[in-house]
């Protein structure tokens, strides 16, 4: 399936196991070398499509790759400038409200991102329902998009998702020369799977089986790594 593919890779939960906190993830040199070799084999048709900001993806080591960050709101060519909307004042207001809710509750964490903000409750799942209610209220009040994730509620500007990112990248070189294959684990990856299918490609869901628009599955991050390694050596 990798032959002739334009490969779209999610990051958290796909290329690296889920960690207790956003800062707890690590990107090893073996992974970066593997992705570089794969990109070479695919004539450049490899992109990382993540909920992380482009700035964070670059801090993690992905500067030399084609990137779509913040769930399709930001784009950057390898080592090139970042195309992104400005951070709206509404996101700052939501961030302040998240802090007012979270700062006196052990285990909750507010993640400030370039043009969005996340409220993580992995360290305090008992607050998940209330955190979701707050995030929904703030989304409605400030005209923001509510993006649920894994033990996480994010608020961001609307108008894009991982599906629109796939469509945008597939309209340009180098990705447009291949058939899209989207690999991801999260609900936010479903739009990516759907877009890949609309364009004649497919998706691979990583992790616990669920209703999905992906046609294939891999059970865990280690299996993704193995699959990509096979793609390089085939």
Ligand X SMILES: O=P(O)(O)OC[C@H]1O[C@H](O[C@H]2O[C@H](CO)[C@@H](O)[C@H](O)[C@H]2O)[C@H](O)[C@@H](O)[C@@H]1O
Q: Which is nearer to ligand X, 119 or 175 (CB)?
A: 119
State which of residues 61, 132, 148, 149 lies at the interface with ligand X (CB under 6 A): 149
Q: Is 50 in the site for ligand X (CB under 6 A)?
A: yes
Beta-ladder partners of 8: 47, 182
Q: Per CB under 6 A, does 82 bind ligand X?
A: no
**Residue with Cβ nearer ligand X (158 or 233):** 158
Return the residues of window 12-31 that contact ligand X according to CB under 6 A.
12-13, 18-22, 24-25
Distance in Å, CB of 234 to ligand X, minimum: 26
Q: For residues 23 and 30, which CB has a smaller minimum distance to ligand X in the complex?
A: 23
Q: How many residues bind ligand X (CB under 6 A)?
A: 26
CB of 219 to ligand X, least distance (A): 17
- Judge whether 15 and 183 are in contact, CB under 8 Å: no
Q: Applying CB under 6 A, does 69 fall inside the site for ligand X? A: no
Verify binding: residue 11, ligand X, rule CB under 6 A: yes
Specify whether the CB–CB gap between 25 and 62 falls below 8 A.
no
User: 14 or 202, CB closer to ligand X?
Assistant: 14
- The catalytically annotated residue of 3, 10, 43, 79 is 10
In whole angstroms, the minimum distance from the beta carbon of 65 to ligand X comes to 13
* 52 in contact with ligand X (CB under 6 A): yes
Q: Does 186 bind ligand X (CB under 6 A)?
A: yes
Q: What is Dmax (Cα atoms) for the chain?
A: 53
Catalytic residue flag (residue 186) = no
CB of 9 to ligand X, least distance (A): 9
Three-class HEC string of the chain: CCCCEEEEECCECCCECCCCCHHHCCCCHHHHHHHHHHHHHCCCCEEEECCCCHHHHHHHHHCCCEEEEHHHCEEECCCCCEECCCCCHHHHHHHHHHHHHHCCCCCCEEEECCCCEEEECCCCHHHHHHHHHHHHHHHHHHCCEEEEECCEEEEECCCCCHHHHHHHHHCCCCHHHCEEEEEECCHHHHHHHHHHHHCCCEEEEECCCCCCCCCEEECCHHHHHHHHHHHHHC
Rg (CA), the chain: 17
Give the residue at shortest CB distance from ligand X: 51
Q: Among all residues, which ones are annotated catalytic?
A: 10
Binding interface with ligand X (CB under 6 A): 10-13, 18-22, 24-25, 50-52, 111, 113, 118, 120, 122, 149-152, 154, 186, 188
């Amino acid at each position: 399936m990798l032959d002739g593919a334009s490969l779209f890779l999610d990051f958290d939960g796909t290329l690296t196991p889920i960690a207790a906190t956003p800062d707890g993830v690590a990107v090893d040199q073996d992974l970066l070398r593997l992705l570089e070799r794969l990109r070479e084999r695919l004539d450049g048709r490899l992109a990382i499509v993540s909920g992380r900001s482009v700035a964070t993806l670059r801090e993690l080591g992905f500067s030399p790759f084609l990137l779509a960050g913040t769930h399709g709101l930001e784009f950057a060519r390898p080592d090139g400038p970042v195309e992104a909307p400005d951070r709206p004042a509404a996101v700052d207001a939501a961030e302040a409200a998240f802090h007012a809710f979270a700062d006196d509750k052990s285990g909750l964490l507010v993640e400030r991102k370039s043009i969005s903000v996340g409220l993580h409750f992995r360290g305090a799942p008992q607050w998940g329902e209330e955190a979701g209610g707050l995030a929904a209220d703030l989304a409605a009040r400030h005209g923001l998009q509510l993006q649920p994730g894994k033990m996480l509620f994010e608020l961001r500007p609307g108008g894009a998702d991982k599906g629109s990112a796939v469509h945008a990248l597939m309209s340009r070189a180098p990705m447009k020369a291949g058939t899209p294959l989207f690999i991801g684990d999260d609900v936010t990856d479903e739009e990516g799977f759907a877009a890949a299918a609309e364009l004649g490609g497919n998706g691979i869901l990583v992790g616990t089986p669920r209703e999905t628009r992906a046609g294939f599955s891999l059970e865990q991050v280690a299996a993704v790594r193995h699959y990509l390694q096979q793609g390089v050596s085939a």
